[in-house]
Structure 1
């Protein structure tokens, strides 16, 4: 009995249960399709290829696949001689069949004013961006136009979901068949989806990336609490769905290399291993990607070459953008080389038709064909736990397969058919029958004959013809119709023009015949007989040379390192050393550094094997510390949507690629305190970093450091400078600010007493840390009345305000601040930029210092931070401050305020080797930081900087030449776009913050 016959008997008993519920309008015509595809090269999976094999399918499933498989008697036999059969591809990231996501038309700072709670009706989550109750299967509708485009690229199955919101609900596995939805859906709920994008939510919160991360963390905690105490919450269908969805594959749309790490960190905190969808930049940090242990979904949305023909346009394009254009196709190959599992997706492409072309480009840039096929079949199917259904050509699986003219990724391979669930979809008919070979064309006219040998070459889908003298002619085939032009002379003046039909029975060589005109214009009958099969030359298909691309930089910036600098033993000899200790300034002194620490200070020190740096005529100081900075922060410095947002953390959104890290190293800064902005009364938790240029976000963090948090007072908090529509968020007055503070700490006290089974609240956790002196306050402040108010709040609730920042009226209340135990971090001479700073004076810092306060000078500005030494010097000019005391305001004093003076801020044995070698007196406007050292590593060197500038110029020139070459070849290009850099200040709001557009030479110089 045949294989199909056996399967038919096995299925006979189930036919009744397989009846449909759909009524038939007309005569029922149930069909049972059995097909046998014979003589094919069968690629069962990426590691198994069978020659002269047969594939048998019945009722939409594979029943047999292999060499020597018997052909069922009732099968429709399809001869696939010369053809390849592959499993159809699976795209694991798609929105196929989903309704369009509505545009976000309102929200914060819109015409309707702020929206504090969800506008979604029903027993759902309080936040509109949490849509865990959404199920793609309930929204799915087949879309033949989109399905056709995907089938043409080889896809037969997709995982689809609605790409809207931070928590997006579940995804559905669907086929790309033309069946009704109930047949196309293979698995209704199979994955859960998340992102850092609010999508269509009109609700204000969250307005920043750090707010989004805090919301996700709180949702995990709330879902755990809801599971144990559902009655306390009442019905919450979003939290219920969140919990239900944890059983599925968890997929996170990160869309950025640093966001990939942020998502993975959230997953690690809650015991979830995400599958991470990237955006194609992840190769720039491949070591960090490997450390996530995640499977990645990689789009093939490689950028087009930039049209840099006009030099005035070209100067606006950042080197990083140029390098990404060149290196992006190497991303899949880099993942393969690093043994990081990944899938490939057509998501993010401008046009789905680009998928195969871009995939072939990735193969040229290092991706292997085996890994590419695995990434489109077995890997996504295994990840979704549906490898028993799709992903290979094994018996029992869905009949989803491609029939091609050759190896699936070869440039000239034609995709003839894509079968989905046993349904045939013809992609191309030309070339199905391989007509290539040698023929004799016999012309018959009035009893005489003439024979012309010809050869048909090319590819099955793109034929060419030459005569015995290798003079090219023309051939066109459409279905069974053929037309020929045979040139007898090179000048094409003698031509034979023929047309006719091709007849071919299975397994028999084709015969061509018809009518035409000979070279004299006389009518003839003709027939072509096959004489010899086409044999491709061994070198006829040339493999492209591996792509030659530039070197990786860390970070991915013009001033990045090819190899990260290493810690060294260093002896700085014969410098003027500003110790900031009792010894004061030491002339002609040596400082020895070993293993990142200062180990010896003195004259005539032995260098041993240490690198010697001549400090003669130069000044050595501790590295500068900026107590108030907003550099290196991604997607928003303020979560200003609520009055209290102590749950958000700057630590979650550090941006290691920010060129301001390098710029500030060039100004002698070695550490920066990154603060939340001043848009609300209690802002977010801050983060102290060391400027380790080239390190990742975790490596930038200052280890073992007391946590701090940003508070704010004044105009920004009560929104008097936010516009007329911002009149609903409490507080609207300075009196209201006091009530917000009192209410927050009252709630924190009650929360702390609530016991171990309470709902964990990230907002209140941070406030309890303040009450327990485990987190410390830095408060944005100006007006003396408000400063007095916060001091009283602190006394009332038993906490100390660690630092008043800005504090431009500090000279008025310095005695009260001292009694309270607060310090000050102020501007040198900023004045009159808004009404509440009208009483600022440049002697403020000096006056507070004389009262006995610890006083620092800060920047709150990326550019000013490059000149902190000059800001400190202004107190010498305006108030006659001692020079060493002035330098301490940007070194030792901020270290004291941030509780790290035992490690940095002065040159003392045992402290971190964070040092700056200046060309001149460090408070002079002529002083340049020649070398900036962090932990014994030289991160900035003026001589090296000149080399990097030359490298930038050479690399830009090389890449522009390469892009111009692409344009000359006719490749599509994109117009130059100015590179944008986010530079934040205290009051900047996401979506309304300042975007500084800088020329590339300014960005990288």
Structure 2
């Protein structure tokens, strides 16, 4: 073992020697500290699953040299005894905006949108900016870095949180004692996307979620077309998109439905996104598991609602209350279903909130091992940086935390956060814990003193007999400062705590300004509340319903074979109305109609005295949609209403109650050529995908008149502005579609265009038009 370590040490030293410094030193003598630091007798979490008791961590030049139970410590080592303390890898946040400010919002307002891009030599849409690199906007922020280190973080992956294609991130070590030459671990660490437009551009398209999805699909198609050398001009956006293909691709979804939408876009383009979730994935756990995607989970669980005011309480929905109760179980449910995830601070008001949120997730059943993985090894693996960060294995950066015990325990104190071998003191580990109960003699008067709170941030309670006195305490660098008031008279005490906390002595400033002394004699050491009491407070998670809001079912609806007997059946066909007739439904379809039918295994429903008809079909509907219009262009045939089906719209429930069973979900009338329809079967409690009829006739929305020529508002920048113009839009787009089809059939290379593909379907009779007219002449 010693020989092996000697070889490794020689290799390490040689590597250090050959990594020569080539910068001049003009502010002092040029030298380098090649000493080791050995942390001994600690409980060391090398990884979340590899733990060493009474182990040693040896570091040099900012990296781990060796760790384990038996480590040979070189002579030129500084030894730090951590008996009774623990060492953990420091945390990693892979979805951050640290040091990268958001662009300023573009100036301008009014009802006249901007339709064209503002940039030349880039993609035709301003919201596609894969050429952006966070490193070019990065500026280290000492104050925020300290907040992050205080919460346990050593590394963050930051990016420009703006736009649909956002460009690359930058991986930063929170090392305030170095410069960017050392703390920038990777200056192109991941490629970021979202469904949200850039605030820096007023370009109108896309105005909707379905538009953003269509834009992403076309972007990938165009990138492939460009990569094959089919574009004579230079497009720096598409070049960057193609160049960044090998990186981890991270997309911000924000909720369970968008997680599935993002994964669908990725699947279509051969990309496995890592997806920023919204904390509600537990509501669709089977579908989420089916994506095989790694998730980035926010921990911004809802705070408890104040329902003390009965009028304000009316605005808190059952859906809100359910999510408040269920959200903290999201990590546990994902872990149980084998979904890989990391945690992010994104959405939290402050990094200081992290510990409370983690403890809540653990209280709801998340294992501490999984919690630690989600903060260390998983984010490192996701970024492809496991050989540098995320663990305390040999050769990794010396990024670690020193704690008083279990890092997820409420009573544990974080003492130090070492980043790239640089020490950052959070709480003085050598400072004595003064918490407990004391008899206090201040001058000639006696009081009762109780010190609670955290070791580094204690709270004091001073009593005279049974009267509680107003008090304040601070404790830093072994100095305790205590003040309290009695009968509006102020007592001020200052004492140095050394050796032990059995007795604390010091100087006292009496209310009259004279000096005296005080002595606090400990009568009882501080103890935490019994853990058994915590078990009694373990939360009870209410069952998820489908959908998970008012009127939801306890389980997903399932198709059943059913026999309706003795009904009055309205056939809506030549047979007319049939009295005392049975209807057998098998496998979701009508199997037989007649009298005295055999039920077999079907569930029998006595329909005597009742009427049975076909369900109502609504041919023109806008319900169950997360978006209705994509108004960014005068033609949006590329967008699909199927992309934005909302299975949780309460109008589904209400329409079913009114007899509606199927509908055509139409695009709105914001443009002459709108988006493609979705033909839906209304199934309350089903997923969006399972509400869409398969192999149904294809439809698209067209519109004429006032809306499409924008006569109802002051917008003059988009063609058409008249009914004559509307006609010309149709003529132009259909002519272009004809030309597109000719090129497609020619066998020559052609650019796949989703919009043109849809219009060709219309020309070939494969897609029908639902046209919204305003006056009889139209």
- Per the TM superposition, whether the score is higher than 0.5 is yes
Pairing of 1:57-206 with structure 2 (within 5 A): 57-106=59-108, 110-111=109-110, 113-120=112-119, 122-178=120-176, 179-200=178-199, 201-206=201-206
Query: Could you say if the C-alpha distance between residues 406 and 93 of structure 1 is closer, same or farther in structure 2, counting changes exceeding 3 Å?
Result: same
Contact 1:431–1:462 (8 Å) recurs in 2: no
Query: Could you say if the C-alpha distance between residues 73 and 6 of structure 1 is closer, same or farther in structure 2, counting changes exceeding 3 Å?
Result: farther
Q: Distance in 2 between matches of 1:316 and 1:540?
A: 37
Q: Distance in 1 between matches of 2:211 and 2:666?
A: 14
Q: Distance in 1 between matches of 2:644 and 2:559?
A: 27
* Structure 2 portions without partners, runs of 5+: 441-448, 484-491, 509-513
Which residue of structure 2 aligns with residue 971 of structure 1? none
Pairing of 1:532-611 with structure 2 (within 5 A): 545-611=537-603
Which residue of structure 1 aligns with residue 368 of structure 2? 369
Which residue of structure 1 aligns with residue 615 of structure 2? 623
Which residue of structure 2 aligns with residue 732 of structure 1? 721
Measured after TM superposition, the shift of residue 44 of structure 1 is 1.1
Query: Could you say if the C-alpha distance between residues 719 and 185 of structure 1 is closer, same or farther in structure 2, counting changes exceeding 3 Å?
Result: same
Measured after TM superposition, the shift of residue 323 of structure 1 is 0.9
Query: Could you say if the C-alpha distance between residues 112 and 701 of structure 1 is closer, same or farther in structure 2, counting changes exceeding 3 Å?
Result: closer
Superposed CA deviations along residues 352-378 of structure 1, whole A, max 9, x for unmatched, are 221111111111111110000000000
Pairing of 1:414-429 with structure 2 (within 5 A): 414-429=413-428
Q: If you compute each CA radius of gyration, which structure gives the higher value, 1 or 2?
A: 1
Which residue of structure 2 aligns with residue 644 of structure 1? 635
Measured after TM superposition, the shift of residue 462 of structure 1 is 7.0
Q: Distance in 2 between matches of 1:412 and 1:21?
A: 46
Query: Could you say if the C-alpha distance between residues 541 and 389 of structure 1 is closer, same or farther in structure 2, counting changes exceeding 3 Å?
Result: farther
Query: Could you say if the C-alpha distance between residues 459 and 202 of structure 1 is closer, same or farther in structure 2, counting changes exceeding 3 Å?
Result: closer
Which residue of structure 1 aligns with residue 300 of structure 2? 301
SS at match of 1:267: helix
2:769 is the counterpart of 1:741 = no
Q: Distance in 1 between matches of 2:272 and 2:386?
A: 20
Which residue of structure 2 aligns with residue 355 of structure 1? 354
Q: Distance in 2 between matches of 1:551 and 1:774?
A: 45
Superposed CA deviations along residues 589-637 of structure 1, whole A, max 9, x for unmatched, are 2212222221222233333443332323321110000000011111x31
Superposed CA deviations along residues 179-214 of structure 1, whole A, max 9, x for unmatched, are 222221101112111100003131001111111111
Contact 1:676–1:683 (8 Å) recurs in 2: yes
SS at match of 1:92: strand
Q: Distance in 1 between matches of 2:266 and 2:738?
A: 30
2:258 is the counterpart of 1:259 = yes
Query: Could you say if the C-alpha distance between residues 67 and 438 of structure 1 is closer, same or farther in structure 2, counting changes exceeding 3 Å?
Result: farther
SS at match of 2:187: strand
Contact 1:400–1:420 (8 Å) recurs in 2: yes
Q: Distance in 2 between matches of 1:732 and 1:522?
A: 87
Which residue of structure 2 aligns with residue 410 of structure 1? 409
Superposed CA deviations along residues 317-365 of structure 1, whole A, max 9, x for unmatched, are 2210111111111111111111100000111112222111111111111
Which residue of structure 2 aligns with residue 662 of structure 1? 653
Contact 1:484–1:498 (8 Å) recurs in 2: yes
Contact 2:456–2:476 (8 Å) recurs in 1: no
Pairing of 1:228-627 with structure 2 (within 5 A): 228-230=228-230, 232-429=231-428, 432-433=431-432, 460-461=455-456, 478-481=476-479, 501-503=496-498, 545-627=537-619
Which residue of structure 2 aligns with residue 750 of structure 1? 739
Which residue of structure 2 aligns with residue 56 of structure 1? 58
Q: Distance in 1 between matches of 2:528 and 2:619?
A: 71
Q: Distance in 2 between matches of 1:732 and 1:5?
A: 80
Q: Distance in 2 between matches of 1:782 and 1:498?
A: 84
Superposed CA deviations along residues 502-539 of structure 1, whole A, max 9, x for unmatched, are 556xxxx899785679xxx99899999x9999999996
Measured after TM superposition, the shift of residue 277 of structure 1 is 0.2
Q: Distance in 2 between matches of 1:459 and 1:150?
A: 19
Q: Distance in 1 between matches of 2:737 and 2:475?
A: 80
SS at match of 1:426: coil
Which residue of structure 2 aligns with residue 771 of structure 1? 763
Contact 2:102–2:162 (8 Å) recurs in 1: no
Contact 1:430–1:477 (8 Å) recurs in 2: no
Pairing of 1:795-814 with structure 2 (within 5 A): none
- Computed over aligned residues only, the root mean square deviation of the Cα atoms, in angstroms, reads 3.7
Pairing of 1:972-987 with structure 2 (within 5 A): none
Q: Distance in 2 between matches of 1:146 and 1:464?
A: 26
Contact 2:560–2:588 (8 Å) recurs in 1: yes
Contact 1:147–1:176 (8 Å) recurs in 2: yes
2:708 is the counterpart of 1:708 = no
Q: Distance in 1 between matches of 2:550 and 2:531?
A: 41
Contact 1:401–1:418 (8 Å) recurs in 2: yes
Superposed CA deviations along residues 59-104 of structure 1, whole A, max 9, x for unmatched, are 1111121223233322222221221110000001101110233235
Q: Distance in 2 between matches of 1:618 and 1:542?
A: 56
Which residue of structure 2 aligns with residue 898 of structure 1? none
> Mean Cα displacement is larger for which, 246-255 or 582-591?
582-591
SS at match of 1:716: coil
Contact 1:53–1:67 (8 Å) recurs in 2: yes
Q: Distance in 2 between matches of 1:483 and 1:777?
A: 80
TM-score (norm 1): 0.69
SS at match of 2:424: strand
Which residue of structure 1 aligns with residue 445 of structure 2? none
Query: Could you say if the C-alpha distance between residues 537 and 55 of structure 1 is closer, same or farther in structure 2, counting changes exceeding 3 Å?
Result: farther
Which residue of structure 2 aligns with residue 695 of structure 1? 686
